[in-house]
């Protein structure tokens, strides 16, 4: 039933455009879901950071600041990757 390892001949003609559009749509849906989860994580981490500041917990402030920085950098990178052809990214 599953087609793991199965290769198909290249598609051409009118179905090639349909396949490309379906691929872009699938990528956009996947990216939108990942973006939503990332924004929720940033929101939760920001709230924990704010709480650590209120409680004057310097160790937790440092940890949450690092988590926020990491989340924001990942968000920035993924935004750049989504706007750029992935093959052009210098990794």
Q: Check residue 14 and give its pLDDT.
A: 75
Give the integer Cα–Cα distance in Å for 40 and 35: 9
Q: Check residue 50 and give its pLDDT.
A: 96
Q: Check residue 64 and give its pLDDT.
A: 95
Give the integer Cα–Cα distance in Å for 58 and 38: 25
Closest CA to 51 of 43, 41, 42, 61: 61
Q: How many structural domains are present in the chain? A: 1
Q: Check residue 4 and give its pLDDT.
A: 65
Residue 10 maps to a domain: no
Q: Check residue 88 and give its pLDDT.
A: 60
Q: Check residue 8 and give its pLDDT.
A: 67
Question: Which domain range does residue 72 map to?
Answer: 32-84
Question: Which residues touch 39 (CB under 8 Å, ≥6 apart)?
Answer: 75
pLDDT values of the chain reduced to their tens digit, one per residue, 91 residues: 455 666 767 777 777 788 888 888 888 888 888 888 889 999 999 999 999 999 999 999 999 999 999 999 988 888 877 776 655 655 5
């Amino acid at each position: 039933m599953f087609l793991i390892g199965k290769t198909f001949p290249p598609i051409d003609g009118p179905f090639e455009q349909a396949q490309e559009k379906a691929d872009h749509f699938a990528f956009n849906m996947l990216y939108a879901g990942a973006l939503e989860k990332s924004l929720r994580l940033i929101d939760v981490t920001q709230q924990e950071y704010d709480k650590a500041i209120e409680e004057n917990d310097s160790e937790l402030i440092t940890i949450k600041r690092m988590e926020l920085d990491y989340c924001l950098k990942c968000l920035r990178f993924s935004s750049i990757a989504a706007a750029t052809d992935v093959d052009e990214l210098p990794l």
